[in-house]
Amino acid sequence: MKKEKQLPSTIEDFQPLNDLVLLKPIVHEMVGRIHIPSKYQARAMEATALAVGPGKISLRTGLREPMEIEPGDHVFVRYYHEADIHIDGEMCMMLPIMDIIGVIEPK
Going from the C-alpha of 94 to that of each of 15, 70, 75, 83, 105, the distances in angstroms are: 11, 15, 13, 6, 22
The pLDDT value given to residue 105:
81
The pLDDT value given to residue 71:
92
Going from the C-alpha of 100 to that of each of 5, 57, 61, 74, the distances in angstroms are: 30, 19, 24, 10
The pLDDT value given to residue 7:
55
> Which residue type sits at 100?
I
* 10-residue averages of pLDDT along the chain (107 residues): 55 82 77 57 76 91 91 84 72 87 81
The pLDDT value given to residue 52:
93
Q: Is the entire prediction scored with pTM above 0.75?
A: no
Q: How far apart are the first and last CA of the chain?
A: 55
The pLDDT value given to residue 15:
83
